Structure 1
């Protein structure tokens, strides 16, 4: 039975024109690309979005992100393909960000449907943020547990997050100016997109073309969410904690006032 499953997986992977298949990536493909996910990827490929699936960009408990050659509006573009794990995602962590969001009816939602709603939520959050001029990956499409968005990077290598850069950030940018650029993006997110990111940290900010980009927007909530204010305060505290290593000094109240326009 296992050999049959592997043969079927090989057939699916070949049909998706996998660009590279070393042993480590093959293991991740086997873990993530179950039958349901493969069918979803086929449908997105049939719609013309995915030309060839590439290597792994990042792995996590809830989702893996792959590179892909794609087509959007008739133009070839690099894609980030975010695939949420249906079986192993930690659903209980999603609840507080979904319940209280007036955009979604959470009554009688199954475990599997919760993931699908989360993916739709991330897409819609990215869409709102992008249209408001916030530096986020442009969202292109979503289906079930798969989200397609702009790939931030070059030559199939993703731009680094602040946690990956660490103290070397000081060699790459004017740190204080970069800090205020992040604040400006959080301000646009709050005032124009009417969203709070709710998970700002060095793990979810990328340095792309010398600019900060906010990523991982699934948990972002509308400003009228019951916990929006506490999430925003937590975001600002995390930001100040990271940048205090670079001697950037501001009060929480000052940044909150700047973001909210008080």
Structure 2
């Protein structure tokens, strides 16, 4: 046990952790195992992570941390999404992986599943970003760690629609916002040929009155066997939320519009 702690401490010493977020050191040591810390060190050694900061969000499968980064020679704020290697929740994700022609799941062990999931999220974000969809720009991935654009200011993330639900009409024109969300859905489906598959007010961030889709690990190609089912679910989730602000549309008509 003592040797394990010493190894973790040595890895933490090699990572750049911002002094004002000294509590982050304790969080990294408690939450992430030695393999994850080694992966973070490799990304830091490549110069991509300049300094690790505090927690942006936490979840069952992953935590997101802030970091000062350097991408293509430019200083940029990063969101560092770290999936837990030992998680019991990934059995729920099988349906989003199997049926995706980009991955041969016959050759993937359960141990490697988390790494495939991270690669999938990176590729989904890259595909969406290249199609002009409002998503965080992906920068790099390695094993269970994904580096991407940080959506926020002064190390604080922009709010989700869920977090803004009470004051949303005071912050933005809701009908215009809904139209922008739908336009991004159309672009996602027609140009990126993707379905988000878990879209709701929890996974849409508001940046300067513009909606951004996040958490795209489960997103599937438009030719996935369950793509139509997922798209309809996404639309129903959105209409459930926006109907509270007077938006009235029929789910089947919206789905038809998105598909063109």
TM-score range relative to shorter protein = over 0.9
Please give the alpha-carbon distance, in whole angstroms, between the structure 1 residues aligned to 2:5 and 2:155. 27
Residue ranges of structure 2 left out of the alignment (5+ in a row):
none
- Paired position in structure 1 for 2:176: 177
Residue ranges of structure 1 left out of the alignment (5+ in a row):
none
Question: CA offset at residue 89 of structure 1?
Answer: 4.5
Question: CA offset at residue 27 of structure 1?
Answer: 5.0
1:33-182 counterparts in 2 under 5 A? 33-182=32-181
1:176-255 counterparts in 2 under 5 A? 176-255=175-254
C-alpha contact 2:17 2:25 (8 A) present in aligned 1 = no
Alignment deviations for residues 44-75 of structure 1 (CA, whole Å, 9 cap, x no partner): 11211000110000011100000000000000
State the Cα RMSD in Å: 1.2
Question: CA offset at residue 13 of structure 1?
Answer: 2.1
TM-score computed with the length of structure 1 as normaliser: 0.95
TM-score computed with the length of structure 2 as normaliser: 0.96
Shift in CA distance, 89/64, structure 1 to aligned 2, threshold 3 Å? farther
C-alpha contact 2:118 2:145 (8 A) present in aligned 1 = yes
C-alpha contact 1:32 1:83 (8 A) present in aligned 2 = no
Alignment deviations for residues 152-185 of structure 1 (CA, whole Å, 9 cap, x no partner): 0000000011111112111110001100100000
- Paired position in structure 2 for 1:5: 4
Q: How many residues align?
A: 258
Question: CA offset at residue 14 of structure 1?
Answer: 2.9
C-alpha contact 1:91 1:111 (8 A) present in aligned 2 = no
C-alpha contact 1:40 1:146 (8 A) present in aligned 2 = yes
Please give the alpha-carbon distance, in whole angstroms, between the structure 2 residues aligned to 1:179 and 1:37. 39
Please give the alpha-carbon distance, in whole angstroms, between the structure 1 residues aligned to 2:12 and 2:171. 39
Question: CA offset at residue 8 of structure 1?
Answer: 3.3
* TM superposition outliers: structure 1 runs of 4+ over 4 Å: none
Question: CA offset at residue 10 of structure 1?
Answer: 3.1
